[in-house]
Amino acid sequence: MPRNPSSRRSRTRTNGRCCPGSFSGNTILPGAPRRCPLTTHVPCFTPCSTMVCCNTTPSRKIWWHGQRSNRSGTVAFERRQATRITSARHIAMLASVMKKQGTPVVLVPLTTSIHAGHRALVRAAQRIPGALVIVAIHPDVDCTPLIDARVDAIFTYTDAELWPSGPRTLVNSPLSQAAGGAGAGVPVTRIMALLGIIGPTDLVLGEKNIRQLVQVQQAITDLHYPVVVHEVPTVRTSEGLPVSNRYADIPPADHDKAVAVSASLIAGTYAAQDGAAAILVAAHEVLAVAGVEPDELALYSLMLGPAPESAPEAGDARLVVSATVGGVCITDSVRVVLGAKPH
């Protein structure tokens, strides 16, 4: 069909490309390719090969189409319905459209089976006013808890979806090198890839894996990603153990030793008013009583600079302890305030 000459005046310039017409209210401007399926909607600014229609009302649906020649690929999205999306292109399009409406897009990256700590991350994301919460997770993980939590979207991805040509680039840092192992930088690289695909406004990570959190924050800062990182405190059991799938692998006979690792952090916190040396002594005494030889017991700055040089003489610091218990390497940490009395 020949193009309507009048459509030239109605084209909207977006991202360096022209879209032949857009929607405004219930009126279709000249050159619009097709009628929006909704009765009320906001203007859509998308590339010519796609159509995206969004509604500001959370209960209404969002529709987007693929190429005009393939109208069978329509995808519908509704808020708080845990819509499963497997295409990087579709999740990127959804996030882009919502951000153009002024909606915060919050990413919660998960990897293993979902537990109470992961649910705390989701709740933290949902507390951001008006946020569209996207949980990124591997496709073989049971997503029932996410459906029960009524997240907005679940991006189930594979490494092939993240890296069609294979993982050729690795985000590395002194912290990943300290963690050891050939794949130490892979989890951070995966999160950075998800940020590149989705382009969220906010990222929610747990304090439990403190080294990964700091590495991601440093990469975001150094690479100038426009993302705000939200740190969620570690969720613990009644015994003080972090809620983690890793702790489930510890043999019952070594359970008390695992508890002692976390208890050493509490002892260090209560000694904080007496300075850095007192913190380390108190923590080491608890470990010694339980017969645990720490692989690491150190006081760092909040950004985990080299210990002990980076630890401040007063103010905020982080106490980190690592130990091998029952053949399982566990790491725990807590923020301490040097020179302050415990509450």
Q: In this model, does residue 71 exceed pLDDT 70?
A: no
Q: What string of DSSP letters covers 28-65? A: EPTT-SS--SSSS-------TT-EEE--SSTTSEEEEE
**Structure tokens given for 38:** 């909704």
Report residue 64's pLDDT band, with 50, 70 and 90 as the boundaries: low
Domains and CATH numbers, the chain: 7-76 (no CATH), 99-232 (3.40.50.620), 246-338 (3.30.1300.10)
The per-residue pLDDT for 303 is 86
The per-residue pLDDT for 175 is 80
Report residue 37's pLDDT band, with 50, 70 and 90 as the boundaries: very low
The model carries a pTM of: 0.79
- Choice among 118, 138, 224, 255 that is catalytic: 118
Residues of the chain above pLDDT 90, percent: 66
Number of Cα atoms under 13 Å in the Cβ half of residue 130: 9
Q: What's at 276, amino acid-wise?
A: A
The answer to whether 176 and 156 are in contact (CB under 8 A) is no
Closest residue by Cα to residue 304 from 327, 288, 320, 283: 320
The per-residue pLDDT for 307 is 61
In the residue annotation, 118 being an active-site residue is answered as yes
Tell me: the pLDDT tens digits for 266-313? 999 999 999 999 999 999 999 999 999 999 999 998 888 876 656 677
Quote the mean pLDDT of the chain: 82
Q: What's at 279, amino acid-wise?
A: I
Q: In this model, does residue 147 exceed pLDDT 60?
A: yes
The answer to whether 109 and 192 are in contact (CB under 8 A) is no
Which position has the higher pLDDT, 209 or 64? 209
Residues 286, 248: Cα–Cα separation, whole Å: 22
Query: Helix count (H) and strand count (E) of the chain?
Result: 10, 16
Q: What string of DSSP letters covers 90-137? A: HHHHHHHHHHHTT--EEEEE--SS--HHHHHHHHHHHTSTT-EEEEEE
Backbone dihedral angles phi then psi of residue 17, each to the nearest 5 degrees: -125, 160
Which position has the higher pLDDT, 69 or 61? 61
The per-residue pLDDT for 181 is 56
The per-residue pLDDT for 47 is 36
- The burial class, CB within 10 Å (0-12 / 13-18 / 19+), for 56 is exposed
